[in-house]
A and B are shown apart, each in its own frame.
Chain A
Amino acid sequence: MTERRPTGGLEQEVLLHLWTLGHPATPAEVLEALDDDLAYTTIMTILTRLWQKGLVERTRSGRAFAYEPTVSEAELTARRMHDSLASASDPKAALVTFVGTLSRPQARALRALLGEAQSRRRS
């Protein structure tokens, strides 16, 4: 499955993971989180590349560097865009969103389906 990933996909995955952490992470921590058969040096390379692009900042943490995503101009623009869309008279019409909200019965149905999907993935 790894080879199916588009170019830059891994870079994005690492960046997204750093965003979810909310605190600086070392390459070892990142490697542990991405449960793929990746080499430590691969993660190092990716983090360095992200740093060169200005997408992450790094601080020394013991013998390694700890990396943290930077809030770039793109993020600020996206935030502004989102705020203006959310305050629009009809936000539903404004966005192509991944998912919307659910009613209570729909949420119940969805939980049942989720259980089914997860058991299928384990089997």
Chain B
Amino acid sequence: MDHAPIVAATVSAFTAGAALLVPRRLRPDLVARLITALVVLSFGAALWSLLLIVAANVVQLHGVAERLAWCSGIADSHRGSFTPLGLLALGTTLTTFASVTRVRLRQRRQRAPSDGQELAVITSDQPLAFTLPGRPGQVVVSTGMLRSLDVKERRVLIAHERSHLRRHHHRYVRLTELAVAAIPVLAPLNARLRFAIERWADEDAADEIGDRALVATAIAQAALASQCRAQPGLAMADACVVERVQIMLAGPTHDSPLVASVFGTLAAAGLVGLLASVVLIEPWVLSLLGLCH
């Protein structure tokens, strides 16, 4: 029982560390999948660890412990209140639930209207392009963005945005966002994931259009146009556009099966560790199996 929260917390730190080490220049779809998997594992393990500490405190409380006396394995000592660690864990759990719920509620509001129109243009001089998830989801572009691109570059933009919808990129973004809401130290991973997602859509656009220089041009044009009319309220410092253009011009990305499998193994190891922490709460497992005495 005592070891389980420690194991879970270790798994959480381990998977978070692994996620931070995922190389930037790996194929973007792999980066996105690996980061999301590792971050979700880290989030799950951290939450599990907290819940175990809270549960261990609850079962030892007077009143609760007496009621659980029929199973000697659950509570080995009685207390009048939570331990300091237990209180800390309880507080952290509650604030975590609060912030995750807040982010989730905001995410649920961001949905495409259900009228089935895949493309919507909004009249605005500000150059904008974004996707809204939903069924079927929606690509939204502003007339300002359309004017800053020529016919062929517009084709790139639409291919890029469609890739976001087709590949359900919002799922990766949202899962990571929720994990970061729970564990703020994971915040750098949000930016990394977003970079990988944009690169992924860039590569899809390049595959569809068949012209990497054209894709590079479209990204650069759109970014420069946004620069000219940037509104302070919407300022999104995006250091990555330059890098996206550079990679697009440098030629196709290469597979790195070795690196990818190393990180895949790390994620699997994290999952095994998490399962181990479940098994480690032996007395509970025993009581569930009806082995109380």
The number of inter-chain residue pairs (CB within 8 angstroms) is 185
Q: Which residues of A contact B248 (CB under 8 A)?
A: 117
Interface string of A63-79 (1 = CB under 8 A from B): 00000010111110111
Interface string of A81-119 (1 = CB under 8 A from B): 110111110011111111111110011011101101110
Residue B292 lies at the interface, judged by CB distance under 8 Å to chain A: no
Interface size of A by Cβ–Cβ distance < 8 Å?
57
Q: Which of A9, A96, A111, A114 contacts B131 (CB 8 A)?
A: A96
Residue A39 lies at the interface, judged by CB distance under 8 Å to chain B: no
B121 touches A114 (CB 8 A): no
Q: A77-B120, A98-B145 are in contact. Are A117 and B234 (CB under 8 A)?
A: no
B106 touches A117 (CB 8 A): no
Residue A13 lies at the interface, judged by CB distance under 8 Å to chain B: yes
Q: Which of A12, A77, A87, A120 contacts B115 (CB 8 A)?
A: A77
A78 touches B122 (CB 8 A): yes
Q: Which residues of A contact B115 (CB under 8 A)?
A: 73-74, 77
B113 touches A101 (CB 8 A): no
Binding site of B, secondary structure by majority: helix, strand, loop or mixed?
Answer: helix
Q: Which of A71, A92, A94 contacts B110 (CB 8 A)?
A: A94
Q: A19-B143, A72-B117, A113-B242 are in contact. Are A107 and B224 (CB under 8 A)?
A: yes
Of B13-21, B54-62, B151-159, B272-280, the segment with at least 4 beta carbons within 8 Å of chain A is: B151-159
* CA of A85 to CA of B155, assembled, Å: 25
B243 CB to closest chain A CB, in angstroms?
Answer: 10
B238 touches A102 (CB 8 A): yes
B226 touches A33 (CB 8 A): no
Residue B236 lies at the interface, judged by CB distance under 8 Å to chain A: yes
Q: A79-B122, A100-B236 are in contact. Are A113 and B213 (CB under 8 A)?
A: no
Interface residues on B, range: 35 or more
Q: A4-B209, A4-B210, A113-B220 are in contact. Are A69 and B121 (CB under 8 A)?
A: yes
* CA of A87 to CA of B138, assembled, Å: 20
Q: A98-B157, A110-B223 are in contact. Are A81 and B234 (CB under 8 A)?
A: no
Residue B214 lies at the interface, judged by CB distance under 8 Å to chain A: yes
Binding site of A, secondary structure by majority: helix, strand, loop or mixed?
Answer: helix
Pairs across A and B, CB under 8 Å, 25 listed: A1-B210, A4-B209, A6-B162, A13-B154, A15-B121, A16-B146, A19-B146, A69-B121, A71-B123, A75-B123, A77-B113, A82-B140, A91-B233, A93-B190, A96-B173, A97-B129, A100-B226, A100-B236, A102-B223, A102-B226, A103-B237, A113-B246, A114-B221, A117-B214, A117-B245
Q: A81-B110, A110-B220, A114-B245 known; 19 other A-B pairs, CB under 8 Å?
A: A15-B121, A19-B121, A74-B120, A74-B138, A93-B190, A94-B110, A96-B130, A97-B130, A99-B129, A100-B238, A101-B230, A101-B235, A107-B223, A110-B241, A110-B242, A110-B245, A111-B224, A114-B216, A121-B217
Which A residues fall within an 8 A CB radius of B?
A: 1, 4-6, 9, 12-13, 15-17, 19-20, 22, 33-35, 69, 71-75, 77-79, 81-82, 84-88, 91-103, 106-107, 109-111, 113-114, 116-118, 120-121
Which B residues fall within an 8 A CB radius of A?
A: 106, 109-110, 112-113, 115, 117, 119-124, 128-132, 138, 140-141, 143, 145-147, 151, 154-155, 157-158, 160-162, 164, 169-170, 173, 177, 190, 194, 197-198, 208-211, 213-214, 216-217, 219-224, 226-227, 230, 233-242, 245-246, 248-249
